[in-house]
Chain A
Amino acid sequence: MELNARIPSGPIQEKWDKARFELKLVNPANKRRHSLIVVGSGLAGASAAATLGELGYHVKCFCFQDSPRRAHSIAAQGGINAAKNYQNDGDSVYRLFYDTVKGGDFRAREANVYRLAQISVQIIDQCVAQGVPFAREYGGTLTNRSFGGAQVSRTFYARGQTGQQLLLGAYQALERQVQAGTVDMYPRTEMLDLIVIDGKARGIITRNLVTGEIATHLADAVILGTGGYGNVFFLSTNAKGSNVTACWRAHKRGALFANPCFTQIHPTCIPVSGDYQSKLTLMSESLRNDGRIWVPLTKGDKRSPDQIPEAERDYYLERRYPSFGNLVPRDVASRNAKYVCDEGRGVGETGLGVYLDFTDSIKRLGRKTVEERYGNLFDMYQRITDEDPYRVPMRIYPAIHYTMGGLWVDYHLMSTIPGLFVIGEANFSDHGANRLGASALMQGLSDGYFVVPYTVGDYLATNKLPKISSDDPEIRNAVACVQQTIQKMLAINGRRTVDSFHRQLGKIVWDYCGMSRTGSGLENAIGQIRALRDEFWQDVKVVGSAQDLNQSLEKAQRVADFFELAELMCIDARERNESAGGHFREEYQTEEGEAQRDDENYSYVAAWAYRGYGNYPGLVKEPLEFEYVHPSQRSYK
């Protein structure tokens, strides 16, 4: 199998214009005859569904939550990047493009990233017009803050709730289309399979989470905006419901899964406190603008932080990376926190934590300014830990936060199944091996508002899509399969709960495929995952029925898919004999302990084909070419 990324020819600055001109259009009168399915209602899904509805298509939008406004994009705190250069500090589309390619450790596709940087500018305009209350200067203009991995101030924000405000903007646009009759919204409905007919994606099979009804929905194209798979680790900053099921079932129907081992560990989360813990809470990376990260200079120093004099503290990021200091990219900050904790210099009861100290900022800026910038984050920290961060330094530790890998897509954001488009975090396309802060919101909205609405049109205009019926034997067969799996899960009636399996799986993946990995560790993990998966299918206990709201059954379906994904992640990590961004193989590091890429052998996207349950997947490579930003050892020193 050959992958064709369909990247337009010509200079990078002109590729998107050229593509837009070459994309075929659908006559406005014909648009309403086309039905489209959008799965997921986060920034990517909601913006795509709203925009496609505005264009006149008939859209069905699905989410598993009770309302589209709950999607996990809502929890993004820090901000959204745009190359507006409002601060006159030398920013440009090219610089945002450059920073993103470099930040991704040269494992992203240049053409996609350039388009993302171009569109970033329009996104801000659109969101302002929708009424997103971005932070303002006294003169009424938009204000910016700086963010990890960049030396310009290009991040737009709405207090510490930027994701919430952007999502509400997209949600309101979506509800406007619901009212206009162009979008039908299906909340509490989960996609359980993709319908592929004559090689094309033509619909989905869903379960109504309240009544248990299994239904088929047919369409001319399917768009997945179902987010990332960070919950494979059980403990993550993702919402409890975030899952890989929609993407995984599409993968099993033939969509290649790209770079699954590229996962991002976020450096500033509240440390784990006990074995009942259900999730990890992120503290926005923006805190690193004004907070200073340190640990005691000596091992095992158990004094309280105010008793440790300045000379006995190690501000390790400022020491090792004098030019970026506390603003180094996420992978670098996380790994360094792990190193100092591994050395025995970690703080807090578990020793798995470092200080994030605001004492100097409060002295310099005054408490009021710090409160204005981070008040809600400080409150949240205090609510959870019962400590006052205005007086005592915060304790933070890295946690899994974002997944750069996802379903493979071409420049049109179409997967290897014609008619199946994948947008936002669910695809692999823009962040390479590491995502820079404030870029996830940008990508979700770019894909949803400004890319997929055009490229879907081109697909509809250039493909013959004969009418199909839900009585098609292939569809009836797929529906039967979905029902059988549900019945099988309920019938096992073993001894262990779904969560206990999920927790154990997460621990394996965190230990062997987390912040640092080794070839032999990954080998070991694959064996453990397989054994645990077999145990799951023999000993899981799911009570209740399939005909009503059954949250254990929902979880069981998702965890079953996480088992299969976890194995693929480890296979991908083992196959990639280099370190890049968030993928750190201990065998491949520079003398200074930084990630050591191998551009000669691994400058490619690893796209995996499903080859049947338990079988080794097939690897297809998409070579990456860097015409503009020449790969170099990333340096933030």
Chain B
Amino acid sequence: MRVTLKVWRQSGRKSGGKFVSYPVENANPDMSILECLDVLNEQLIERGEEPIAFEHDCREGICGSCGFMINGVAHGPLPATTVCQLTMRHFKDGETLTLEPWRAYAFPLIKDLVVDRRAFDRIIASGGYISVSTGSAPDGNAIPVAKEAADRSMDAAACIGCGACVAACPNASAALYTGAKIAHLGILPQGKPERDLRAVRMVTQMNAEGFGGCTNIGECTGVCPKEIPLEVIATMNRDYIRGSWRARDNVVTPIRPFTEWSTGSKLQNDPNG
């Protein structure tokens, strides 16, 4: 089959970008769109042009590396599918596909379709864990967990951290991502002791990163490759309000967001450096 890929090309944050159209004559319905980009990149390199930079790793829909907008939809038209598993059979012969990077203030562009998602790591660092150091755990069966709770927790824990929720949201909100971690840990008995402070810390960090607020539009869950339910945002809000009251004596300082990559500037901006 034949398709045209209209791709956002931008060599770096400080330079301007533009769309460039590339015809791909030898696309195959069974290949993924990333393999279609591979084929195009091979042709570009042979012509001496720079290949299109895009993020990818496992190519089985679980690492969360890949993702871009296809015709304005995060991860493209197929529900519950990352771009690495989106095969070309879902597009029409002769179709033009517009590929753009995630667009959000908190995800600065690095190159072409690649963005910086370290804000997500900082949200986890701010409190997205259970504080249990290695060696101090009781027997695995010492804490019974109702099957229903384990299942609901797993539904939220399935998040792959790809950032599609942020890219799809008109406010570029990270509520679904943050809510998923708060729900995953808060539902389990092991996560209860830190439930209040965890929610306060993670929401504070999310706001410090410059993600927008949630206005219950629901695009996030619509594009989520793991179908994280919208309910996790309600869980986040409830835990945040509860935590703001019960953990009010704790001073919460967010980690300072940094966007530079060079080692020198990282150390300068790194609050731990």
Given contact pairs A133-B150, A136-B147, A240 touches B56 in the complex (Cβ within 8 A): yes
> Chain A residue with minimal CB distance to B270?
A184
Given contact pairs A125-B140, A129-B137, A384-B85, A179 touches B62 in the complex (Cβ within 8 A): no
**In the complex, A486 has a CB within 8 A of chain B:** no
- The secondary structure that dominates the B interface is loop
Q: Is A168 a contact of B147 with CB atoms below 8 Å? A: no
Given contact pairs A66-B116, A130-B129, A165-B157, A499 touches B65 in the complex (Cβ within 8 A): no
* A240: contacting residue among B57, B61, B117, B135, CB under 8 A: B57
Interface set, chain B 152-193, CB cutoff 8 A to A: 153-154, 157-158, 160-161, 184-185, 188, 190-191
Given contact pairs A54-B134, A138-B147, A185-B121, A211 touches B261 in the complex (Cβ within 8 A): yes
- The minimal Cβ–Cβ distance linking A121 to chain B, given in whole angstroms, is 9
- The minimal Cβ–Cβ distance linking A542 to chain B, given in whole angstroms, is 8
Contact stretch, chosen from A278-286, A325-333, A569-577, A606-614: A278-286
The residue in B57, B114, B116, B135 that gathers the most chain A C-beta atoms within 10 A of its C-beta is: B57
Given contact pairs A130-B130, A133-B154, A125 touches B188 in the complex (Cβ within 8 A): no
Cα separation A241 to B65 with both chains bound (whole Å): 11
* A66: contacting residue among B49, B117, B144, CB under 8 A: B117
Bitwise interface map of A from 558 to 596 toward B, beta carbon under 8 Å scored 1, else 0: 000000000000000000000000000000000000000
Q: Is B64 a contact of A213 with CB atoms below 8 Å? A: no
- The minimal Cβ–Cβ distance linking B160 to chain A, given in whole angstroms, is 8
Contact stretch, chosen from A24-32, A139-147, A356-364, A436-444: A139-147
Given contact pairs A187-B118, A211-B262, A74 touches B58 in the complex (Cβ within 8 A): yes
Q: Work out how many contacts link A and B, with CB atoms closer than 8 A.
A: 234
**In the complex, A171 has a CB within 8 A of chain B:** yes
Bitwise interface map of B from 106 to 130 toward A, beta carbon under 8 Å scored 1, else 0: 0000110010111011001110111
Cα separation A134 to B160 with both chains bound (whole Å): 17
- The minimal Cβ–Cβ distance linking A36 to chain B, given in whole angstroms, is 15
Given contact pairs A70-B63, A126-B134, A130-B132, A208 touches B262 in the complex (Cβ within 8 A): yes
**In the complex, A273 has a CB within 8 A of chain B:** yes
Q: Is A172 a contact of B129 with CB atoms below 8 Å? A: yes
* A67: contacting residue among B11, B111, B118, B137, CB under 8 A: B118
**In the complex, A12 has a CB within 8 A of chain B:** no
Bitwise interface map of B from 37 to 81 toward A, beta carbon under 8 Å scored 1, else 0: 011001001101111010111111111110000000000001011
* B64: contacting residue among A69, A185, A274, A379, CB under 8 A: A69
Q: Is A184 a contact of B273 with CB atoms below 8 Å? A: yes
Q: Is B143 a contact of A128 with CB atoms below 8 Å? A: yes
> Chain A residue with minimal CB distance to B139?
A125
**In the complex, A450 has a CB within 8 A of chain B:** yes
Number of interface residues of B (CB under 8 A): 85
Contact stretch, chosen from B27-35, B212-220, B243-251: B27-35
Bitwise interface map of B from 191 to 231 toward A, beta carbon under 8 Å scored 1, else 0: 10000000000000000000000000000000000000000
> Chain B residue with minimal CB distance to A160?
B62
For residue B89, which residues in chain A have a CB less than 8 angstroms away from its CB? Answer: 386
Q: Is B62 a contact of A75 with CB atoms below 8 Å? A: yes
Q: Is B124 a contact of A66 with CB atoms below 8 Å? A: no
Q: Is A133 a contact of B45 with CB atoms below 8 Å? A: no
Bitwise interface map of A from 153 to 176 toward B, beta carbon under 8 Å scored 1, else 0: 000001101001100100111011
Q: Is B133 a contact of A54 with CB atoms below 8 Å? A: yes
Interface residue tally on A, bucketed by range: 35 or more
> Chain A residue with minimal CB distance to B81?
A383
For residue B120, which residues in chain A have a CB less than 8 angstroms away from its CB? Answer: 67
Cα separation A86 to B63 with both chains bound (whole Å): 31
Cα separation A172 to B128 with both chains bound (whole Å): 7
Q: Is B144 a contact of A140 with CB atoms below 8 Å? A: yes
> Chain A residue with minimal CB distance to B78?
A383
**In the complex, A549 has a CB within 8 A of chain B:** yes
Cα separation A122 to B126 with both chains bound (whole Å): 27
For residue A450, which residues in chain B have a CB less than 8 angstroms away from its CB? Answer: 134-135
**In the complex, A538 has a CB within 8 A of chain B:** no
Cα separation A164 to B58 with both chains bound (whole Å): 12
For residue A208, which residues in chain B have a CB less than 8 angstroms away from its CB? Answer: 261-263
For residue B45, which residues in chain A have a CB less than 8 angstroms away from its CB? Answer: 497, 541, 543, 552
- The minimal Cβ–Cβ distance linking A413 to chain B, given in whole angstroms, is 16
**In the complex, A178 has a CB within 8 A of chain B:** yes
Given contact pairs A140-B145, A213-B262, A543-B48, A129 touches B132 in the complex (Cβ within 8 A): yes
**In the complex, A546 has a CB within 8 A of chain B:** no
- The minimal Cβ–Cβ distance linking A557 to chain B, given in whole angstroms, is 16
- The minimal Cβ–Cβ distance linking A446 to chain B, given in whole angstroms, is 11
Q: Is B138 a contact of A125 with CB atoms below 8 Å? A: yes
Q: Is B124 a contact of A213 with CB atoms below 8 Å? A: no
Q: Is A126 a contact of B128 with CB atoms below 8 Å? A: no
Cα separation A240 to B63 with both chains bound (whole Å): 11
Q: Is B60 a contact of A161 with CB atoms below 8 Å? A: no
- The minimal Cβ–Cβ distance linking A488 to chain B, given in whole angstroms, is 18
- The minimal Cβ–Cβ distance linking B255 to chain A, given in whole angstroms, is 7
- A: residues with CB less than 8 A from B are 47, 50-51, 54, 65-72, 74-75, 84, 86, 122, 124-131, 133-142, 158-159, 161, 164-165, 168, 171-173, 175-176, 178-179, 181, 184-188, 208, 210-211, 213, 215, 239-241, 273-274, 276-279, 281-282, 379-380, 383-384, 386, 449-450, 453, 495, 497, 499-500, 541, 543-544, 548-549, 551-552
- The 18 sampled A-B contact pairs (Cβ below 8 Å) are A47-B134, A67-B121, A67-B161, A72-B58, A126-B132, A131-B185, A141-B144, A159-B154, A172-B128, A178-B121, A208-B261, A239-B58, A278-B35, A282-B60, A383-B85, A500-B42, A543-B45, A548-B12
The 6 closest A-B pairs by CB, nearest first: A140-B144, A129-B137, A172-B129, A210-B261, A175-B125, A125-B137
Known: A138-B147, A499-B42. 6 other contacts (CB 8 A): A67-B64, A72-B57, A131-B129, A383-B78, A383-B81, A549-B110
